[in-house]
Structure 1
Amino acid sequence: MQVHIVRGPVSDRHAALLEDNYRLRHRIFVEQQGWQALRRSDGRDVDAFDNADATHILLTKSDQLVGGSRVTPLDRPNLLQTVFSGLVQDDLPADPSLGADWTRFYVRPDRREGRRRTPESAALFCAMMEYALNEGFTFITFVSSLSMVEHGNAVGWRITPLGEPALVDGKATVAAWIEVSEHALDNVRRATGMRRALIPASPPTRGPSIPLYAH
């Protein structure tokens, strides 16, 4: 499997991968999970946060997209503080410039049938923590069902709710933050068996132009 860290401007080759990501997201979040507010006639899940500030962590196997997620700096417009602000009752653990919002996590449906934890989700969890460390973030926020919190706890992450769970589209949903640390990376690698680095280490940088990396 290859992990790709994609941030604009994007080359034509990488634009095709990003387009596959938008279409697969629509298939999963709209057609399967029923997020009707995201439905678009062109079959692409693209919102206001798929912009120049966003980084997409995409996973391929044999050149086929099998999973992905999106990261947005918390000192830029983000999903947590714009759409899900009602779930946030507590303060962030540090200045927003030190955090990122993690959204749109998915694994292609045929890769997770009948399996509680997939190699794809393990790779995405490890890549997320590697990316956060490389960028100099100290915490990651997310909004999800309670099962995602349980999954994070199971891989040894320190997760702190930002408020009480609430029903969103009929499901118990919570906003929370994850502590970013080398210890958290060690824990998730140990729990998932992903021993090697998935993306290359680099000095912390959050400029507008980052090339796609493939390991």
Structure 2
Amino acid sequence: MLYAFSTSELMDRPDLWQAVHSLRHSIFVDEMGWDDLRRPDGLEIDQFDHEEATHHLVVRNGELAGYQRMLPTTRPHLLTEVLTDLYEGTPPCGPDVFELTRYAVAKPYREGRWGVSSVGSELIAGFIEWGMTRGVDKVIIEFEPMWVLRALQLRFLAQPLGYQRTYGRQQVVATLLTFDETTLRTVREKRNFDAAVLAQGEPDFIGYRKAS
């Protein structure tokens, strides 16, 4: 299941907060080579972990298995403040557009091709469900170009916002993804799982297992 937390709610759970920022550091700094984010405490934290951010956590077997962060585009966000060379013109914004950042699947849960495991598809289904209950039908995401095709196969309308650039060890392109009920149905069909993934309450959590 996928659990949604505000930043203050996440900070009220120090075990979850620690696991989230440790997972982010492991993936985005250690794996992807974003060395500007490196910290001696092994936690990845930035200025966008503010009070309007929403954190999505997938918990499996009591462990943090996946994570992503949703940022409103009605205030400064990653694309407009940091990754400014990824867009041409004016990036889309509004209450129906969020930026999806820090999408991450922990190594022990990457059993699928391209890392698209059941945890990864749960994160995708989760942000669609979360958005559709809030009048949000678009996300901006910065990812590898191959994911544009993958998004189209899942029935997202995918619109690149600029040219691809190199960050760390990755080629990255900023893309606007528009989704609807057809997208959600397609994602569920690919997952072979029809039930909603967005959960209420808090997860039973043991810890975060960092793979060697």
TM-score (norm 2): 0.86
| Deviates further, 21-30 or 110-119 | 110-119
Tell whether the 8 Å contact from 2:57 to 2:66 is kept in structure 1 after alignment.
Answer: yes
User: Are the structure 2 counterparts of residues 141 and 11 from structure 1 closer, same or farther at C-alpha, using a change threshold of 3 Å?
Assistant: closer
Deviations 1:129-174 (A, max 9, x none): 1111112113110111113223322322111111122333353321
User: Are the structure 2 counterparts of residues 212 and 37 from structure 1 closer, same or farther at C-alpha, using a change threshold of 3 Å?
Assistant: farther
* 1:79 paired to 2:111: no
User: Are the structure 2 counterparts of residues 36 and 136 from structure 1 closer, same or farther at C-alpha, using a change threshold of 3 Å?
Assistant: same
What is the aligned counterpart of 1:104 among 102, 105, 108?
102
Work out the CA distance in 2 between the residues paired with 1:57 and 1:11. Answer: 10
**After superposition, where does 1:122-161 map in structure 2 within 5 Å?**
122-161=121-160
Structure 1 residue 113, shift from structure 2 partner: 5.2
**After superposition, where does 1:153-192 map in structure 2 within 5 Å?**
153-169=152-168, 171-192=170-191
User: Are the structure 2 counterparts of residues 111 and 11 from structure 1 closer, same or farther at C-alpha, using a change threshold of 3 Å?
Assistant: closer
User: Are the structure 2 counterparts of residues 32 and 142 from structure 1 closer, same or farther at C-alpha, using a change threshold of 3 Å?
Assistant: same
3-state secondary structure, aligned to 2:198: coil
Tell whether the 8 Å contact from 1:101 to 1:141 is kept in structure 2 after alignment.
Answer: yes
3-state secondary structure, aligned to 2:4: strand
* 1:120 paired to 2:129: no
Work out the CA distance in 2 between the residues paired with 1:119 and 1:22. Answer: 22
3-state secondary structure, aligned to 1:97: coil
- The percent of aligned pairs where both chains have the same amino acid is 26
Deviations 1:34-90 (A, max 9, x none): 110110111100000011111011000111100110000000221011111221114
Structure 1 residue 17, shift from structure 2 partner: 1.1
**Aligned residue in 2 for 1:5:** 4
Work out the CA distance in 1 between the residues paired with 2:29 and 2:169. Answer: 15
Work out the CA distance in 2 between the residues paired with 1:167 and 1:12. Answer: 32
3-state secondary structure, aligned to 1:121: helix
**Aligned residue in 2 for 1:207:** none
Work out the CA distance in 2 between the residues paired with 1:135 and 1:114. Answer: 30
**Aligned residue in 2 for 1:203:** none
Work out the CA distance in 1 between the residues paired with 2:76 and 2:85. Answer: 16
Work out the CA distance in 1 between the residues paired with 2:112 and 2:125. Answer: 22
Work out the CA distance in 2 between the residues paired with 1:46 and 1:55. Answer: 14
Paired positions, count: 203
Work out the CA distance in 1 between the residues paired with 2:29 and 2:201. Answer: 27
Structure 1 residue 187, shift from structure 2 partner: 1.8
3-state secondary structure, aligned to 1:148: helix
What is the root-mean-square deviation of aligned Cα atoms in Å? 2.2
User: Are the structure 2 counterparts of residues 81 and 12 from structure 1 closer, same or farther at C-alpha, using a change threshold of 3 Å?
Assistant: closer
* Structure 1 segments unaligned to the other structure (5+ residues): 201-210
